[in-house]
Amino acid sequence: MNGWQWFWTLVGFIIFIIVLIFLRWYQPFADLFNIVITGLSYENSILWAVVIIGIIGFCGYHWRAYRVHIVAQNNVEAMVLSSLCGSTATAILLSGGATLQSVQILLARMLESGFALDAEFGRHLVSVVALILLTGVFSIVFWLLKVIQGARQAT
């Protein structure tokens, strides 16, 4: 990195720290943060981690696509296709994380004392199957977008 890149990186970090300090004492954000932290438990910890990773990945993927396709290549169509791939990858991550969280809740329920095969167990099982199917659909869409993107680059 040259001198200007280091400078702007430092400026970005300083602005980020100032925003975090502001948010620390901004009451609506502090209330939201307290609600999220007090609501965090083993039943939703995987989902929160996946959501945070998904948001960061979504933003990073779109920023990279913008820099590559708009700034460097000036190609809006490739940007749209790349953004769709990034959005679909994020959807796979989120639905996969929700599936993992749902399986964890189902297994925790099965390990409880007094477990019975009742309607609630059936609802949990159906939700796991539905999330697996949703993840599969997103995976197929992602694969199709990659095929289209590869065919487009070949021409």
Termini Cα distance of the chain: 35
Q: Please, which residues have CB within 8 angstroms of residue 60's CB and are 6 or more apart in sequence?
A: none
Going 85 to 88 to 89 to 90, the CA torsion angle's sign is positive
**What's the pLDDT tens digit per position in 93-136?**
999 999 998 898 888 888 888 888 888 888 889 999 999 999 99
Quote the CA–CA distance of 85 and 142 in Å, as a whole number.
6
Quote the CA–CA distance of 101 and 43 in Å, as a whole number.
7
In a 13 Å sphere around the CA of 132, the CA atoms on its Cβ side amount to: 8
**What's the pLDDT tens digit per position in 54-107?**
899 888 888 888 888 888 888 888 888 888 988 999 999 999 999 998 898 888
The residue extents of the domains of the chain are 1-39, 42-154
- Global pTM reads 0.70
